[in-house]
Amino acid sequence: MENKYETNAKVFKALSDPNRLMIVEMLQSRERCACEILEDLNISQSTLSHHMKILCDSGLVGSRRHGKWMYYSLSKEGCDEAKNLLSEITTIWHNSNERDLRHEC
């Protein structure tokens, strides 16, 4: 079992690699076949497959098979969830009620 911090960290971990950010950028304009992504990045086929798995597992990217080819695209839902998550965790609470007491240093 995985706690919420580990779960959330996974989404950001998916975005914390330069090659994966390049892939995400490629997917903004349209879905892409794995072989097309492979052409643009300087990595091996097995490494690309590994990155695509991480992106898909994070929910940011979806995939569909068409014959021999795998097509990848940004997932609207996954991307929205990520945005909501980031928004939630970085919102600064200006609390008027003084429940949250100061620490004794």
Q: Which residues bind a second copy (CB under 8 A)?
A: 3, 5-6, 8-10, 12-13, 15-19, 21-22, 24-25, 28-30, 32-33, 35-36, 60, 69, 74, 76, 79, 82-83, 86-87, 89-93, 95, 100, 103, 105
Give CA–CA dist 82/77, Å, rounded: 9
Beta carbons within 8 Å of 55's beta carbon, 6+ residues apart: 14, 20, 23, 24, 61, 72
- Tell me the three state secondary structure of residue 70: strand
Question: Which residue, 39 or 97, has its beta carbon nearer to DNA?
Answer: 39
Question: Which residue, 46 or 87, has its beta carbon nearer to a second copy?
Answer: 87
